[in-house]
Structure 1
Amino acid sequence: MKKISLLFIGFLLAFQLSAQDTAAIYRKLDSIAIIDQKVMMPMRDGIRLATDIYRPKGNQQVPIVFSRTPYNFNTWVDGKMTTRTLEEAYAAVSRGYAYVVQNERGRFFSEGEWDILGTPLTDGYDAFEWMSKQSWSNGKIGLIGCSSTAEWQMAAASLNHPALAAMVAQGFGAGVGRVGKFFEQGNWYRGGAQQMLFTAWLYGTQHDLYRPRLPKDISQQDLQRIQRFYDMGPEMPRVDWADKLKHLPVKDIIKNAQGSTGIYDKMIVRKPNDPAWFQGGLYHDNMPMEVPAFWFVSWYDVSSAPNIALFNHVRNTAKKPGVADNQYLIIAPVLHCSYKRATENTVVGERSVGDARLNYDELTWGWFDMLLKGEQNNFKTSNPRVRYYTMGSNKWQQAESFPLPNTEMRSFYLNSGGSANSRLGDGILSIKKPGAKSKPDRFTYDPMNPVPSYGGNVCCTGNAIQGGSFDQSAMELRNDILVYTSEELKEGVEVTGFIETSLYVSSTGPDTDITIKLIDVYPDGKAYNLDETIQRLRYREGYDKEVMMENDKVYKVDLTPMVTSNYFAPGHRIRIEISSSNFPRFERNLNTGGNNYDESEGRVVENTIHHSAKYPSVIRLPIIKAGN
């Protein structure tokens, strides 16, 4: 009893301290800000979006930092005031900005129906128009947010509202539909295979069709009153996603978890080129992008490569004077939206990558001060165009572009005597092209026994996957993983940039997947994953058509590029793993050639990777030359 009592007293003290801290933050904010919560901002179709506004006291006109989100920003939760929104508001107001935070339509107190990135693009434009015309606005708006609070920014920016002057987009890949070689439709796909993170995420995010709704004409005063005891947020029962994601058919996973009925049911049946992807809030590279932007990317996020590709796309296509020159990029060695969690010894998964800290607040507010206030500060002179972190050597580096100038794309070819199965096999990664003795490698892919995801570049899957870099060596004992390893490196090699892979593949099934991982093998045998990708072979000729395979016919397959910055130190080895599954990171291909999303029965197939003079399977690594 004494132990329980002490724990309870400790809880009470912690709660009391938290309540005191929250009250102190509110008092500080209240002393400098006009606080106007639950303003119902009108959209052109009559729908009103719930908005909280915090602005400096007085009559001055100030720039606006705007955050629109599907998440709950209510300052009252369970009858208690919370700090996060208040802290963000205080940071902005104390620097002379108005801070405006708004829920997307259909979320919490906002009216209308929610559809992930399917709400009208005009909601963003209408919000910019309303804010820019307020008497306290100086007419300039900057956007800020990470993940779902960032992903809407690009498409809204393409509408070219004159008040939108700057963006800070962090972990924004779920807003990128198509850019260059990447055709992911907001990270729903990778190489045509579904990324299962959205199944788990939508379970906890989508509102049920039959959710409670407030009266359309409810007043601001009533909303301010009831927000203290209603936050309109469902409390979803916890789900063991490590188990539930195994359910087939895929379209019934949320139903099987007794989750809400919502937009998942519509999205899971869409093919990569479905017209619906092009009608909502996703950004596609045929849309203009004419806004200065500060892009934040993570090496272990779900969408590092397409995010960096978008940075390049904007720099190459912007037409307004100064827009291309006002694109900046930071790439940190952390998980999704975990920039500020970097420490003096940053560990991502199991691998230490050293001191990866940056002063993100200083960078962000310097950016906004320059573009929203017109301050002649030192942002441009003190910040490189691209700041990226190289793992292995564990240091921040800088460049004027990404990929880096004078990068050498070095080809490493797959070789073996036909037994590359597992790390105990004879798979070799070599700069020498395969010769006559090189034989194809075969493995059995059973979708009912897929290769499990272990770490990786992922987010939002609950307990199913822990993202980051983990030692893959134990899993590499599976015979359905082909392992190709270089010789021990005599000199260190920095690999920074996009990684291209071309494989020659055959299968006994009409459709299958090919997966790949890039690995840094340490002298003690630990094998740390750097990046990974997948290709559904029915989409090998493009995402506008499905072309099935003929039994045992050899096809050249170009995989979606991977990306990283890693120093392979002397004594290390470069390794790739090839298989046909990485589950539940990606949906399993049931190998039938059917829809996959509505099937419960899989087909076992034999898949073959060919490497010979005729079929030179290769991975091209971006090697940074000495002196770069």
Structure 2
Amino acid sequence: MRFSVAAALTALLMAAPIFAGPVTADMVQRGSDIAAKWKDTHPGYDYERREVMIPMRDGVKLFTVILIPKGASGLPILLERTPYNAGGFDDDKPHLRDALRPSKREFVDDGYIIVNQDVRGKHRSEGAYVMTRPPRGPLNPTKTDDTTDAYDTIAWLVKNVPGTNGRVGMVGSSYDGWAVAMALLGPHPALKAAVPESPMIDGWMGDDWYHYGAFRQLGMDYFSGQMARTGSGPRIPRPGADDYQNFLELGSAGAYAERYGFDQLPWWKRFAAHPDYDAFWQLQALDRIVPQHPSDVPTMWLQGLWDQEDMYGAIHTWEALKASGHGANNHLVMGPWYHSQINRAAENLGPLKWKGDTAADFRHDVMLPFFNTYLKDRKPAQPLPEAMIFNAADKRWESFSDWPIAEKQVLKPLYLQQDFALGFEKPKAGEDKYVSDPAKPVPFLTPPVDGADHDRWTTWLVQDQRNISTRTDVLSYQSPVLTEEVRVQGAPIADLFIKTNGSDGDFVVKIIDVYPPSYAEQPELGGYQLPISLDIFRGRYRNSFEKPEAFEPGKTAEIKFRLPTMNYVFKPGHRIMVQVQSSLFPLYDRNPQSFVPNILFAKPADFKPATISILRAAPEGSSAVLLPVVK
């Protein structure tokens, strides 16, 4: 038997008497060790954080975080309403500017009270969540919406927050930008300035859900992320690492949704039942509604020139306001940014490099002075012009007293010509053909496509198109080398005359700047094919967005649609290219190319190859892109 010192000591201790002394009352644990009511103490912090539940007119309370600088007196409030967790920031930082995301630092430095609020039904707010809840009316029979919620919130803030001057500004991007636009439908008198950034305005025409009827199926992760739980929901699980294959193998978007349990989401059921631009979409399209209820609130409508999610809403709402005579207090800003990059660093966009941080500089030099004009009576040296549009070719901001400049601009046809040439001279009759095969759709990014890859997703609109231009199902028309600049300002129009042996089809048109083969300023851009403006159009809606029509095989049809706005200069030594194709997969769902009632639920047998002819010139007209060329 081996001797163990440890065992001997253990036995000795167990045998020894316990001399613990008396047990007093304070030693006995009763109840829980969790504090009955914990209140954070932040010694040395330069701000006070308050969490309140603000009551709405129907009794529902909304979770709100109020951040007040120490010693606040006579400060304005900057309000953001969000479904993305109002309390989700680093509040363990002693300095307020460090606790918030970079986009708020300029306001902290200048002296603002910062307020974030969860919208109804999300995170810690009470009530039922409805995706971009429609305004009160036929689609929303209740007495509340995000207009009344913003109004009630502002009324409570100006009455109950100490240190304020009673003036409120609203800001927010994407869904939060939509919330700003909703507040403008019936603003509280204390709302003095607003900046909706890349707002979700019309989800069918060109924002998150559809583009001219083509479904953006990669957005389905957003559905589960927003509506599976009141907090942040799950991302859809992937059977493989490449979304190109994942979506291809499951077939239609509806089959994909069924596979991953979307029948549990009331939003999906409403959404999927309305593939056409019917009352469901029209009655919540804010570019239609806002001009019917114009406000006096000075508003800056802001978006990125390469916004991969919400490129439609801001400019179309601003244009509608201007057209209806309400342009005086509304301004348009378009920066060299991807979606919501205004709130992040923006020294570059993919391979495109700018002169400094265009987002931080804009926030400091333009956005903050805009708010200060109305919230602090601090007039800027230069008033905000009607429009500020970044020129990516010249790498500078340009200001416009009228946009686009009507007397200096003309829509000039840039024709698709023989031998895949491109020019301003009208072409002779002829056609170019390609086969669009749903089994081999054109990728919007070179596979593998990872839907969670932030860097590739945010910059896909500026990705080099050389890998696409050699495909047999992509027609690439190219101008001669330019000997003088071509300056464009405004929205180009794609105007195609086509024939197909199918009964449906999608059409993608891209306007591309082709760099010289050798480019000394940035060698990696030598030969680069940079998309400047592109979009997709679902052919069944060529005559009516509400009432889809099948193509008559072999009969000429015109496909005409607006492309995203440009403020650009094609430089001497460059070429202009126009590409035409029929898919951008898996971002957009595949068109089966045989007419079915609802493409979301197309069956495998519906997907058929189609031979498509682009008519360079025909009795009906000549295929071209109408460029907004400055005279």
Same fold (TM over 0.5): yes
Report the Cα distance in structure 1 between the residues aligned to 2:491 and 2:225, rounded to whole angstroms.
33
Report the Cα distance in structure 1 between the residues aligned to 2:206 and 2:479, rounded to whole angstroms.
35
1:379–1:111: structure 2 CA closer, same or farther, 3 Å change rule?
A: farther
**What is the correspondence of 1:203-352 to structure 2 with a 5 Å cutoff?**
203-208=224-229, 232-234=231-233, 236=235, 239=238, 240=241, 241-246=243-248, 247-257=250-260, 261-262=264-265, 263-278=267-282, 282-285=286-289, 287-290=292-295, 291-302=297-308, 303-318=310-325, 324-339=327-342, 341=344, 346=348, 348-352=349-353
Deviation at 1:444, TM superposition (A): 1.0
Report the Cα distance in structure 2 between the residues aligned to 1:85 and 1:341, rounded to whole angstroms.
12
2:432 is aligned, of 434, 441, 449, to 441
Deviation at 1:66, TM superposition (A): 0.7
Q: Is 1:201 aligned with 2:204?
A: no
Q: Is 1:130 aligned with 2:156?
A: yes
Deviation at 1:50, TM superposition (A): 0.8
Deviation at 1:368, TM superposition (A): 1.4
1:50–1:26: structure 2 CA closer, same or farther, 3 Å change rule?
A: same
Q: Is the 8 A contact 2:106 2:368 kept in 1?
A: no
The residue matched to 2:151 in structure 1 has which SS?
helix
Report the Cα distance in structure 2 between the residues aligned to 1:368 and 1:35, rounded to whole angstroms.
23
Q: Is the 8 A contact 2:90 2:99 kept in 1?
A: no
Give the structure 2 partner of residue 576 of structure 1: 578
Give the structure 1 partner of residue 487 of structure 2: 494
Deviations 1:469-524 (A, max 9, x none): 12211221111111111111111222222111211112112211111111111221
What amino acid maps onto 1:166 in structure 2?
A
What amino acid maps onto 1:134 in structure 2?
N
Give the structure 2 partner of residue 517 of structure 1: 510
Give the structure 2 partner of residue 66 of structure 1: 79
Deviation at 1:443, TM superposition (A): 1.2
Q: Is 1:534 aligned with 2:540?
A: no
Report the Cα distance in structure 2 between the residues aligned to 1:160 and 1:362, rounded to whole angstroms.
26
Structure 1 residues 389-398 or 274-283, which shifts more? Answer: 274-283
What amino acid maps onto 2:186 in structure 1?
L
Give the structure 1 partner of residue 425 of structure 2: 432
The residue matched to 1:251 in structure 2 has which SS?
helix
Structure 1 residues 90-99 or 365-374, which shifts more? Answer: 90-99
1:59–1:191: structure 2 CA closer, same or farther, 3 Å change rule?
A: closer
Give the structure 1 partner of residue 608 of structure 2: 603
Report the Cα distance in structure 2 between the residues aligned to 1:117 and 1:162, rounded to whole angstroms.
24
Q: Is the 8 A contact 2:201 2:313 kept in 1?
A: no
Give the structure 2 partner of residue 450 of structure 1: 441
Give the structure 2 partner of residue 419 of structure 1: none
Report the Cα distance in structure 1 between the residues aligned to 2:105 and 2:270, rounded to whole angstroms.
40
Deviation at 1:574, TM superposition (A): 0.6
What amino acid maps onto 1:189 in structure 2?
Y
1:143 is aligned, of 165, 170, 174, to 170
Give the structure 1 partner of residue 189 of structure 2: 162
Deviations 1:149-177 (A, max 9, x none): 212221331124323221112122x2346
What amino acid maps onto 1:365 in structure 2?
L
Give the structure 2 partner of residue 623 of structure 1: 629
1:95–1:350: structure 2 CA closer, same or farther, 3 Å change rule?
A: closer
Q: Is the 8 A contact 1:335 1:467 kept in 2?
A: no
Structure 1 residue ranges without an equivalent (≥5):
1-24, 178-182, 212-231, 417-425
Structure 1 residues 124-133 or 526-535, which shifts more? Answer: 124-133
Deviations 1:102-138 (A, max 9, x none): 0111111112222220262332333233334436454
Higher-Rg member (1/2)? 2
1:58–1:398: structure 2 CA closer, same or farther, 3 Å change rule?
A: closer
Q: Is the 8 A contact 1:185 1:272 kept in 2?
A: no
**What is the correspondence of 1:320-469 to structure 2 with a 5 Å cutoff?**
324-339=327-342, 341=344, 346=348, 348-352=349-353, 355=356, 357=358, 358-380=361-383, 383-405=384-406, 406-416=408-418, 426-435=419-428, 438-454=429-445, 462=453, 465=457, 466-469=459-462
Deviation at 1:577, TM superposition (A): 0.4
Structure 1 residues 89-98 or 46-55, which shifts more? Answer: 89-98
Deviation at 1:559, TM superposition (A): 1.5
Report the Cα distance in structure 2 between the residues aligned to 1:590 and 1:276, rounded to whole angstroms.
24
Report the Cα distance in structure 2 between the residues aligned to 1:353 and 1:459, rounded to whole angstroms.
27
Give the structure 2 partner of residue 506 of structure 1: 499
Report the Cα distance in structure 1 between the residues aligned to 2:205 and 2:463, rounded to whole angstroms.
25
Report the Cα distance in structure 1 between the residues aligned to 2:411 and 2:235, rounded to whole angstroms.
48
What amino acid maps onto 1:68 in structure 2?
R
Deviations 1:43-81 (A, max 9, x none): 233222111112355685543211001112325789999
Q: Is the 8 A contact 2:302 2:332 kept in 1?
A: yes
Count of aligned residue pairs for this structure pair: 549
The residue matched to 2:509 in structure 1 has which SS?
strand
Give the structure 2 partner of residue 98 of structure 1: 113
What amino acid maps onto 1:623 in structure 2?
V
Structure 2 residue ranges without an equivalent (≥5):
1-40, 135-144, 518-526
1:618–1:453: structure 2 CA closer, same or farther, 3 Å change rule?
A: same
Report the Cα distance in structure 1 between the residues aligned to 2:322 and 2:103, rounded to whole angstroms.
30
Q: Is the 8 A contact 2:511 2:531 kept in 1?
A: yes
Q: Is the 8 A contact 2:533 2:564 kept in 1?
A: yes
Report the Cα distance in structure 2 between the residues aligned to 1:501 and 1:77, rounded to whole angstroms.
47
Q: Is the 8 A contact 1:470 1:529 kept in 2?
A: yes
Report the Cα distance in structure 2 between the residues aligned to 1:78 and 1:139, rounded to whole angstroms.
25
1:570–1:517: structure 2 CA closer, same or farther, 3 Å change rule?
A: same
Report the Cα distance in structure 1 between the residues aligned to 2:483 and 2:222, rounded to whole angstroms.
45
Deviations 1:310-362 (A, max 9, x none): 2232233355xxxx333233222121111365555x2x233445556224134
The residue matched to 1:388 in structure 2 has which SS?
strand
2:63 is aligned, of 50, 55, 65, to 50
What amino acid maps onto 1:624 in structure 2?
V
Deviation at 1:26, TM superposition (A): 6.9
Report sequence identity in percent.
26
The residue matched to 2:171 in structure 1 has which SS?
strand
What amino acid maps onto 1:110 in structure 2?
S
Structure 1 residues 605-614 or 64-73, which shifts more? Answer: 605-614
The residue matched to 2:336 in structure 1 has which SS?
strand
| RMSD of aligned alpha carbons | 3.2
Deviation at 1:581, TM superposition (A): 0.7
Q: Is 1:481 aligned with 2:474?
A: yes
TM-score, scaled to structure 1 = 0.79
